[in-house]
């Protein structure tokens, strides 16, 4: 067992995952059109062939998690630790910055507007359907999206790492069906880790480069700073530097501190907009959108009608979040020791989505309100300048518009820095199999994210979209990795419940009855 506890760098995984990243960049430099076309073709195949499976996977993961949370197994304590290390607020704050970081500002402003301008095909042709616009956005950033990032799989991962003493790596999700062989120079195990790292890199570089461009746009719009490649590179390097400094201080200081400030600033910004903005419309949008989502939850989750629309929206998001999932499972497993199954599942798949949806109502609902009152006030900016323009167009409609715009940019900076920091930690943890990887390795990956994004930016904006789309391709093997926890997590929960004496009497009485018969 000592073999598995060593904090040893997995060189094959490091070389293959890093080599793939370098090869992608070199091919993009040589022939970016070829890379874009190949990714576009593979993206289409992945979305069409695996889209339905992903929809069922996320739905099954969510419902099985709810069953465990509210069953007799909900009291099972995870991680072989009697009490959690972090307070509930700090814990949830770190969870919130995982997925919300990718869409915290710009998707929150633009997605409700897109669905308002053009109603999703499931609900017919036309526009101006506010509940459908918010409800569809809630689905994409709601219960099932969050649940896949760290509920059933985290139960398996924490059991494998903390109860069995095996390395903290994505391949651990296969332990219940393969055993310790998955760690002993296993081709399947190495492949699981490599694909998880590649998917994470693709999913992180996309938002980092994309938001770097958007922050540059905001600086130009608010302060007149020339929006050019140099500014975008400076922004990305600054974000990577912040993330590297945070990574050097570790989870308990860096990520925790950034998460607390990030959530606190986001709450302040949300309350400010709620007070000075269209208060009742925001509240009505949240309530109406939530009702619409719950009423049409299964219908929206299983919709298979318009494949082109699904590839651009639901299936794209599901592929993105599935690709992110293994690394976030590693991170959530690290910060959730001492929590019960019920606490874990409720926090990740219920509390976080509700907070997320309210933020979408504040930002996106405000945009929809101004668009209704003055058609074109937000949609024109969105169509002409994209998502960063939509955010600033919304801010311009509000009192203190300049300061709110600055607030949006600041929140974006901290969100992205926290995401890069978190992903650097999880990649380092995967490469060493230890929940406290070496500082140099965490900093190294934070800087790699920044340097690689700068290289991609220098190629052109289309490569950012290609990298972001590539996560849907890498999500194909990763989604197979996330399937076993649907049945292994309940088995592990039952085993731990027996070990912790939570169901001893009931199980023993059943055995006695069988003996008597």
Render pLDDT for 292-313 as a digit per residue (tens, 0 to 9): 999 999 999 999 999 999 998 9
37-63: pLDDT as tens digits: 888 888 889 989 999 999 999 999 999
The answer on pLDDT for 189 being more than 80 is yes
**Mean pLDDT, rounded, for 54-78:** 97
**H or E segment and range at residue 237:** helix 229-249
Q: Is the pLDDT of residue 484 over 50?
A: yes
pTM for this predicted structure? 0.90
* Euclidean distance between CA atoms 488 and 174, whole angstroms: 9
What span, in angstroms and rounded, lies between the C-alpha atoms of 491 and 222? 55
Q: Is pLDDT above 70 for 267?
A: yes
Longest dimension (CA), the chain: 84
Rounded CA separation 479/322 (Å): 6
pLDDT at position 280 over 60: yes
The pLDDT-based confidence of 179 (bands split at 50, 70, 90) is: very high
State residue 459's pLDDT score: 61
Quote the tokens at residue 362: 């504040």
Please state the rounded mean pLDDT for residues 398-411: 86
* Position 1 pLDDT exceeds 60: no
Q: Do the Cβ atoms of 68 and 490 come closer than 8 Å?
A: yes
Whether 8 shows a pLDDT value over 80: the answer reads no
Q: How many CB atoms lie within 10 A of CB 149?
A: 25
Q: Point out which residues pair with 100 in neighbouring strands.
A: none
CB 59 within 8 A of CB 302: yes
Structure tokens at 259: 């998460």
For 196-241, what is each residue's pLDDT tens digit? 998 888 777 766 776 777 777 778 877 888 877 778 778 878 878 8
Nearest one of 453, 478, 432 to 173, comparing CA atoms: 478
d(CA 111, CA 357): 12
What are the residues facing 77 on neighbouring strands?
A: 340
Separation of alpha carbons 113 and 19, rounded Å: 40
262 or 2, higher pLDDT: 262
pLDDT category at 514 given cuts 50, 70, 90 is: low
Distances, alpha carbon 514 to alpha carbons 290, 321, 491, 494, 501, in Å:
48, 46, 21, 20, 20
Q: Looking at residue 304, what DSSP letter applies?
A: -
Q: Residue 220: beta bridge partners?
A: none
The residue ranking higher by pLDDT, 185 or 348, is: 348
| Residue 5 scores a pLDDT above 50 | no
Q: What is the mean pLDDT of residues 459-488?
A: 80
Mean pLDDT (the chain) is 85
| Distance from C-alpha of 446 to C-alpha of 80, rounded to nearest angstrom | 30
pLDDT digits (tens, 9 = 90+) for 112-161: 999 999 989 988 766 568 999 999 999 999 999 999 999 999 999 999 99
């Amino acid at each position: 067992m000592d073999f598995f506890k060593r904090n040893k760098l997995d060189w094959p995984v490091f070389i293959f995952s890093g080599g793939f990243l370098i090869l992608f960049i070199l091919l993009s430099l040589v022939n970016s059109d070829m890379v874009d076309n190949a990714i576009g073709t593979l993206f289409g195949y992945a979305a069409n062939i695996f889209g339905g499976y992903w929809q069922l996977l996320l739905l099954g993961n969510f419902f099985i998690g709810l069953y465990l949370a509210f069953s007799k197994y909900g009291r099972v304590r995870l991680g072989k630790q009697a009490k959690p290390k972090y307070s509930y607020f700090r814990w949830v704050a770190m969870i919130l910055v995982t997925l919300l970081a990718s869409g915290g500002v710009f998707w929150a402003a633009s997605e409700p507007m897109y669905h308002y301008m053009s109603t999703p095909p499931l609900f017919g042709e036309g526009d101006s359907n506010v509940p459908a616009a918010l409800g569809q956005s809630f689905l994409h950033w709601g219960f099932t999206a969050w649940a896949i990032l760290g509920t059933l799989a985290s139960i398996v991962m924490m059991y494998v790492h903390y109860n069995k003493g095996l390395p903290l790596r994505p391949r651990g999700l296969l332990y219940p069906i393969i055993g310790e062989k998955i760690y002993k120079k296993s081709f399947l195990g190495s492949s699981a880790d490599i694909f998880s790292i590649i998917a994470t890199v693709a999913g992180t570089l996309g938002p980092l480069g994309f938001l770097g461009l958007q922050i540059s746009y905001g600086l130009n719009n608010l302060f007149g700073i020339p929006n050019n490649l140099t500014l975008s590179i400076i922004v990305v390097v600054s974000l990577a530097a912040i993330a590297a400094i945070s990574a050097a201080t570790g989870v308990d200081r860096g990520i925790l501190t950034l998460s607390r400030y990030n959530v606190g600033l986001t709450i302040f910004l949300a309350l400010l907009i709620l007070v000075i903005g269209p208060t009742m419309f925001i509240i009505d949008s949240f309530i109406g959108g939530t009702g619409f989502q719950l009423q049409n939850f299964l219908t929206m989750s299983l919709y298979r009608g318009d494949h082109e629309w699904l590839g651009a929206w639901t299936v794209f998001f599901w592929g993105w979040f599935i690709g992110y999932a293994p690394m976030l499972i590693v991170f959530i497993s690290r910060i959730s020791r001492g929590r019960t199954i019920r606490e874990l599942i409720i926090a990740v798949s219920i509390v976080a989505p509700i907070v997320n949806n309210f933020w979408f109502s504040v930002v996106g609902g405000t945009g929809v309100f101004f668009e209704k009152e003055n058609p074109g006030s937000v949609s024109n900016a969105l169509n002409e300048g994209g998502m960063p323009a939509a955010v600033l167009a919304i801010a311009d409609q509000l009192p203190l518009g300049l300061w709110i715009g600055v607030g949006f940019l600041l929140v974006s900076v901290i969100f992205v820095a926290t995401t890069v920091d978190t992903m650097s930690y999880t990649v380092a943890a995967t490469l060493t199999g230890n929940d406290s990887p070496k500082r140099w390795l965490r900093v190294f990956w934070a800087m790699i994210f920044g340097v690689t994004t700068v290289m991609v930016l220098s190629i052109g904006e289309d490569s950012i979209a290609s990298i972001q789309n590539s996560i849907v391709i890498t999500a194909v093997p990763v989604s197979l990795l996330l399937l076993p926890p649907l049945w292994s997590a309940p088995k592990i929960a039952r085993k731990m419940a027996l070990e912790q004496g939570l169901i001893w009497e009931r199980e023993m009485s059943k055995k006695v009855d069988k003996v008597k018969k």
